[in-house]
């Protein structure tokens, strides 16, 4: 046993997923007095399996550790002797690829820390998630953290971003330059995911049209993973400026992240962050809550609630996903 305790936060899936998992991991580390280590050396955004997190972000007012001690006191125990491996590598050591294709929290829970518990005795805890689990921490908002009881989950996450997380200056500079040179008085931010998870394009167009009725000269900032969506917007909105950042699109039409075709995975991550933060700078945000990309943009932003439109509320598939998430929060174990 070592004298200090650690929380090792692994990256999993795309930028939105790992961003959300990081936020409540920061809070968990504070609640449990553990030093945090963020390890994004997985194959999604790293070209050479080096840890790319420091190339994207800085952490502030968080107790960090530069390295993890050698110990067998690890939870979950499947991570013993595998701390340098990615989540996918560990999962595939124990689970079949077919089982991992589906949304199965029962499988995932065996490989990550349960956020409902803060009494682990192990020296090192491993945390990763596809989503935020702040709701699981509420039972532990006592003492110095009692003030969090009156805050919504969203407000807590916004607070964590504001106080503990910042972009690297070079990425921040690109975003500022784009806003200063290209943004106009009214900017409609639209995030359309249309590769591995396709949503109705017509819903987005309908809401853009409604905003344009009020602000006909608006700039439309489009963040998408599909060039066909970009073409559709440019073809339909010929009287408006359309801003789309330069990015790599996979020829196969598959997802931008976790894609073997990607020529530069780190740059792919930078491009994702630029799109997320530019969405957060808009006056309006149209997004799908079932995609974490838009959720993160909303958390970062100061966009009034009345100016944010979640298209998932208007589709059966989105309603089902939102209901499942709501039930999960209400049945915390």
Convert the pLDDT of each residue in 276-311 to its tens digit: 999 999 999 999 998 999 999 999 999 999 999 999
Give the residue, 227 or 195, on which the prediction is more confident: 227
The confidence band for 2, taking pLDDT boundaries of 50, 70 and 90, is low
Mean pLDDT for 221-236 is: 93
- Mind listing the pLDDT tens digit for each residue in 168-194? 999 999 999 999 999 999 999 999 987
DSSP helix/strand/coil, 243: strand
* Spatial distance between the Cα atoms of 112 and 12, rounded to a whole number of angstroms: 11
* Spatial distance between the Cα atoms of 63 and 215, rounded to a whole number of angstroms: 46
Contact (Cβ atoms closer than 8 angstroms) between residue 199 and residue 224: no
| Residue 319 pLDDT > 70 | no
Percent of the chain with pLDDT over 90: 76
- Mind listing the pLDDT tens digit for each residue in 162-173? 999 999 999 999
Mean pLDDT for 230-238 is: 94
**Long-range contacts for 82-90 (Cβ within 8 Å, ≥24 apart)?**
83/8, 83/124, 83/126, 84/41, 86/10, 86/11, 86/41, 86/42, 86/43, 87/10, 87/11, 87/12, 87/42, 87/111, 87/128, 88/12, 88/42, 88/43
The pLDDT of residue 247 is 87
DSSP helix/strand/coil, 219: strand
Q: What is the pTM of this model?
A: 0.91
The pLDDT of residue 201 is 84
124 dihedral zone (left: phi>0; alpha: psi -120 to 50; beta): beta
* Spatial distance between the Cα atoms of 119 and 80, rounded to a whole number of angstroms: 19
The pLDDT of residue 197 is 56
The pLDDT of residue 248 is 86
- Mind listing the pLDDT tens digit for each residue in 34-71? 999 999 999 999 999 999 999 999 999 999 998 888 99
Highest-confidence segment of 75-89, 257-271, 310-324: 75-89
| Residue 104 pLDDT > 90 | no
**Residue 296 to residues 159, 196, 277, Cα–Cα distance (Å):** 13, 19, 9
The pLDDT of residue 325 is 57
In the chain, the domains with their CATH numbers are 6-167 (3.40.50.11340), 169-330 (3.40.50.11350)
């Amino acid at each position: 046993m070592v004298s200090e305790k650690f929380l090792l936060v692994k990256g999993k899936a795309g930028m939105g997923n790992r961003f959300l998992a990081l936020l409540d991991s920061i809070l968990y580390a504070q609640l449990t007095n553990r030093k945090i280590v963020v390890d994004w050396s997985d194959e999604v955004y790293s070209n050479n399996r080096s840890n790319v997190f420091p190339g994207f972000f800085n952490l502030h007012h968080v107790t960090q550790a530069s390295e993890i001690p050698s110990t067998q006191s690890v939870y979950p125990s499947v991570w013993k002797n595998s701390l340098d491996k990615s989540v996918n590598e560990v999962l595939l050591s124990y689970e079949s690829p077919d089982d991992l294709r589906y949304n199965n929290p029962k499988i995932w829970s065996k490989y990550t820390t349960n956020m409902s518990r803060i009494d682990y005795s192990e020296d090192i805890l491993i945390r990763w998630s596809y989503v935020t689990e702040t709701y699981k921490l509420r039972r532990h908002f006592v003492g110095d953290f009692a003030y969090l009881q009156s805050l919504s989950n969203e407000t807590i996450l916004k607070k964590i971003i504001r106080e503990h997380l910042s972009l690297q200056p070079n990425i921040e500079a690109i975003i500022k330059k784009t806003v200063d040179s290209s943004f106009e008085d009214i900017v409609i931010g639209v995030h359309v995911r249309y590769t591995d998870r396709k949503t109705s394009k017509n819903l987005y167009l309908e809401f853009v049209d409604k905003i344009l009725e009020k602000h006909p000269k608006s700039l439309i900032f489009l963040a998408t993973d599909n060039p066909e969506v970009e073409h559709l917007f440019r073809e339909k909105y010929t009287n408006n400026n359309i801003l789309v950042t330069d990015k790599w699109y996979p020829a196969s039409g598959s997802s931008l992240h976790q894609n073997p075709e990607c020529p530069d995975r780190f740059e792919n991550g930078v491009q994702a962050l630029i799109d997320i933060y530019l969405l957060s700078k808009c006056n309006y945000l149209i997004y799908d809550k079932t995609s974490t990309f838009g959720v993160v943009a909303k958390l970062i932003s100061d966009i009034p609630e009345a100016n944010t439109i979640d298209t998932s509320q208007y589709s059966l598939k989105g309603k089902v996903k939102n209901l499942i998430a709501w039930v999960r929060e209400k049945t915390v174990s």
